[in-house]
Structure 1
């Protein structure tokens, strides 16, 4: 299986403020806000949806291809991908730009203040799906707006089945745009909040949207997920995590499970359970790419959790 993953590559700088934001932000002065937070803890992680999805697919023994754009500061990420033996063939370097970056400050109540710089993501339209070969399935995850629209059309023209995964990119699109994505895609995956937004913007119910694709997948956090397929709603349980440390990248891990299951002809119950398990493995580790189970570990965990083997 070779999946083409169109989406973002990013550096995540995560800082911890050892207090509560509310103690330092005065409501009556919000119109002239000027605050500074001392953050003695900081870590920098490799992230971005495309990078995270590819990382998890590699754990499953697949051969992911990343189609993304990066900036002049990409060298550490490039070395990371080389170490993982993940191809950089379709990662375009954009001069005079930064790789996308998120700067996240978290307080002791897990409130977050995030600044996101898209950088080279804005040039994702310079990449074209037909530049990749031997692709059996694709996914469009959050990326530059023009690139997402273009890649959806190109997947459809190439006859390559793909998942539409709008994620945090959904606010960039109106109802007509979202309907165009759904009509071009073979599969759609959203979380429960995005599902509500998708219905509001398109004017369609989940049942109506599901009729336009082979499957509509809605993740629901600790409640598991629902897969609308073949005229039914398949309830997927949430796999148990050894501990809950960091949800960053859990959705991407789940999507890797979807890609692997679809490409390998698994039934929806098994595909959803594999996706759920990958999310549970990830949440027990900080960052999107720091969990490192072997494929055999994943298979053993799957059987222990669900009572049967996956192919």
Structure 2
């Protein structure tokens, strides 16, 4: 099962503020905020939601197709992705714009303040998913991740027209979408990914109730941080999967993307959703323990140990045969 991952490709500038954002905010002055945080660490890393998810799938040996727009500075990044199992032939490279930039500061409570510069991502609406499917082969699933909104809408419409199952992951772009756009992006998706905040924002944007939304998607997967994830399906009890806990958190950036990589890998291997979610949680924790979204080492034996310790030996044994074949 080959997956096309659409969305942003970016360079991450990750900084750490040795304090709490909340302590710098004055309630009576929130309408006129002018703050500067002195960070004590800077890491420049490869990122972007589509590239992060594709990277994880590539490490699992699943040959994902990365679909997005990058800039004139993409050569080194592209070589890195290809070396880690990602097909970059569908990446549109701008002839004058730079790859998108994600600038994020994290405080000691793991709260984050971020700014995203689109750069070459503005050219993403030019990408024709149908032409890519004809050129490199029809994918079994298309994930539509955060991207230029016009590109997200185009990819969604194309996947539906071609009859390709869809995973909707609007994430950061929900704030830019109107009601019709939000509905178009999630309606009839096989899987819908959000975090807890995005879940509430999605209901506000679509104007749908939770039950109405569940009636229009296959499974709604919500990541809940240290509380794990929930998998909600219309007419069935919500399934809750505990997180794989750690006391070695280095940086939360990219943990959600890693969960998606693990979950989609399990889906590609036709695992039950609960089993796929456990793998996603284990990989998310692996990323939490490293700085940068693609700097982690994917070690099958480590994932099996994490799953054993959190979910028990039976859960670990169920995943072990497939993970043992990971390159």
C-alpha separation between the residues in 2 aligned to 1:260 and 1:5? 12
Q: Contact 2:226/2:245 (CA < 8 Å) preserved in 1?
A: no
Worse overlay, 148-157 or 236-245:
236-245
Give how far 1:80 is off: 1.4
Cα deviations by residue, 1:54-100 (Å, 9 ceiling, x for unpaired) = 11112322111100100112223123113223221011111211100
Structure 1 regions of 5+ residues with no counterpart? none
Matches within 5 A, 1:234-245: 234-241=239-246, 243-245=248-250
**Inter-CA distance 194–39: structure 2 relative to 1 (3 Å threshold):** closer
Matches within 5 A, 1:88-167: 88-106=88-106, 112-130=112-130, 131-132=132-133, 133-167=137-171
Give how far 1:151 is off: 0.1
Match of 2:77 in 1: 77
Match of 1:214 in 2: 218
Q: Contact 2:55/2:85 (CA < 8 Å) preserved in 1?
A: no
Match of 2:60 in 1: 60
Match of 1:301 in 2: 306
Match of 1:284 in 2: 289
C-alpha separation between the residues in 2 aligned to 1:43 and 1:5? 25
Cα deviations by residue, 1:263-303 (Å, 9 ceiling, x for unpaired) = 22211211221111111111111111111122343234323
Task: Describe the SS at the equivalent of 1:289.
Answer: coil
Worse overlay, 108-117 or 167-176:
108-117
Cα deviations by residue, 1:207-253 (Å, 9 ceiling, x for unpaired) = 22111122111111111111112621111111223522211001101
Q: Contact 1:67/1:91 (CA < 8 Å) preserved in 2?
A: yes
Give how far 1:104 is off: 2.5
C-alpha separation between the residues in 2 aligned to 1:296 and 1:267? 21
CA RMSD of aligned residues (A): 2.5
**Inter-CA distance 22–270: structure 2 relative to 1 (3 Å threshold):** closer
**Inter-CA distance 107–278: structure 2 relative to 1 (3 Å threshold):** closer
- Structure 2 residue corresponding to 1:226, chosen from 227, 230, 241: 230
C-alpha separation between the residues in 2 aligned to 1:284 and 1:32? 32
Q: Contact 2:2/2:64 (CA < 8 Å) preserved in 1?
A: yes
Structure 2 regions of 5+ residues with no counterpart? 323-327
C-alpha separation between the residues in 2 aligned to 1:302 and 1:22? 35
Give how far 1:183 is off: 2.0
Equivalences, count: 310
Q: Contact 1:217/1:227 (CA < 8 Å) preserved in 2?
A: yes
Give how far 1:22 is off: 8.4
Q: Contact 1:249/1:287 (CA < 8 Å) preserved in 2?
A: yes
C-alpha separation between the residues in 2 aligned to 1:249 and 1:11? 12
Q: Contact 2:244/2:306 (CA < 8 Å) preserved in 1?
A: no
Match of 2:42 in 1: 42
**Inter-CA distance 250–108: structure 2 relative to 1 (3 Å threshold):** closer
Q: Contact 1:162/1:186 (CA < 8 Å) preserved in 2?
A: yes
C-alpha separation between the residues in 1 aligned to 2:219 and 2:9? 26
Q: TM-score normalised to the size of structure 1?
A: 0.90
Cα deviations by residue, 1:158-198 (Å, 9 ceiling, x for unpaired) = 11111000110111212221122222422211111111111
